[in-house]
Structure 1
Amino acid sequence: MDDALQHVGPRLRAARTRRGWTLEDLAGRTAMSVSTLSRLESGKRQAGLELLLPLTRQLGISLDDLVRTAAPDPRVRRATMQRNGLAVTPLTPEGSPVAAWKITYPPGGSVERLRVHEGFEWLYVLSGKLRLRLGEQDLVLDRGEAAEFDTRVPHAMAASGPRPAQVLSIFDETGARMHTHSPDPI
């Protein structure tokens, strides 16, 4: 039996019992016999649309709730990119509305060229120290510090000191595109 269909019966039973209904209660609400409903829940009867539609309506669930397959593998397996001297590791699947990245800034980087683009950025320093130029501000963020800013404010980042800075960065879609697909440095 198809994996999705073998779970229909137990999912029907779970939805019914969550409502506190007996087999008789649900059978009466759907004009279905108790025997048919019992056989559906136990997997002894194949569930067709003519039976499932009235059941899902009464139970307040969707057909997808009954036949969904197991959740896809949640692991993100995307390669680290080298981008203008930075190691950029994607932490979210491609096409996510919010993109998270681990960015490693090598020591000795420059923050002289400020950039401006649409979007927002949130960052968290995992290790090392990060120099953040944001408008007129020149800040150094230590491990464990975070920042959030509108990327329409001129900004630039680099490691501060003799060690690389590892940063968790979260961008909206526009910011991710600018930081990972733009021909200009990050």
Structure 2
Amino acid sequence: MKRNETAPAHTIVDTMLDAVGPRLRELRNRRGLKLSDVADATGLSTSTLSRLESGLRRPTLDVLIPLARIYRVALDELVGAPPTGDPRIHPKPIRRNGWIYLPLTRDGAPVQAFKVVLPAKRVGRDVKLASHGGYEWFYVLNGSVDLTLGGEVTTLTEGEAAEFDTRQPHSITNATDAPADILSLFSPQGEQIHIRDS
């Protein structure tokens, strides 16, 4: 083959499909799931999943669709399809407990970025602390928020940022009666706890 010639299409497809197995394993490990967890969630057998991850079974659309759903990645990302040339992200708001999370990164990224709108402060409501593996970072775009870490409360205002180990019991709440906006970066564990778990 001459240097300027491109590889035949079937070779490119074969290369893409060969990379699916390691990508599936990496996505499963990143989410902290066992093969049996994925099998329960997708209806695929653990042996099928194991053969897919090891490259002993060729991935097909009927197995890739449920896997893309459980790993929350687009199908083209799962198979490593070449980029379409449009770098824009088309976020869909996620609403949980009065909060609005606007994803700023594609699903499956090692760090997930969100613009978060916090509702007005709720008087008399107990602050619930959460702890989990990973790190969290946020920047106050508008308003002011209270960051509770362990027993200490720190109020951050517009233009201030915080980073912390999420193994410490923590909570972020609005400090005022007006909505507040923050830019937040979550590790996969933090995203699962704060946004995906119901």
> What's the CA shift for 1:169?
0.4
SS at match of 1:126: strand
Partner of 1:150: 165
Runs of at least 5 residues in structure 1 that lack an aligned partner in the other structure: 1-35, 41-46, 50-67
> What's the CA shift for 1:71?
5.6
**8 A Cα contact 1:99 1:173, kept in partner:** yes
Question: Where does 1:89-100 land on structure 2 (aligned, <5 Å)?
Answer: 89-100=102-113
**8 A Cα contact 1:128 1:164, kept in partner:** yes
SS at match of 1:88: strand
Alignment partners' CA distance in 1, 2:171 and 2:88: 31
Runs of at least 5 residues in structure 2 that lack an aligned partner in the other structure: 8-80
Deviations 1:6-25 (A, max 9, x none): xxxxxxxxxxxxxxxxxxxx
Q: Does 1:165 align with 2:166?
A: no
> What's the CA shift for 1:111?
5.8
Alignment partners' CA distance in 1, 2:139 and 2:187: 15
Alignment partners' CA distance in 2, 1:150 and 1:115: 12
Task: Tell me the percent identity.
Answer: 38
Structure showing greater radius of gyration is: 1
Alignment partners' CA distance in 1, 2:108 and 2:82: 22
Q: 2:135 aligns with which of 120, 124, 129?
A: 120
Question: Where does 1:42-121 land on structure 2 (aligned, <5 Å)?
Answer: 47=5, 72-109=85-122, 110=125, 112-121=127-136
**8 A Cα contact 1:104 1:166, kept in partner:** yes
**8 A Cα contact 1:111 1:157, kept in partner:** no
TM-score, structure 2 normalization: 0.57
Task: Flag the 1:70–1:81 CA change in 2: closer, same or farther, 3 A.
Answer: closer
Alignment partners' CA distance in 2, 1:70 and 1:117: 34
Task: Flag the 1:111–1:95 CA change in 2: closer, same or farther, 3 A.
Answer: farther
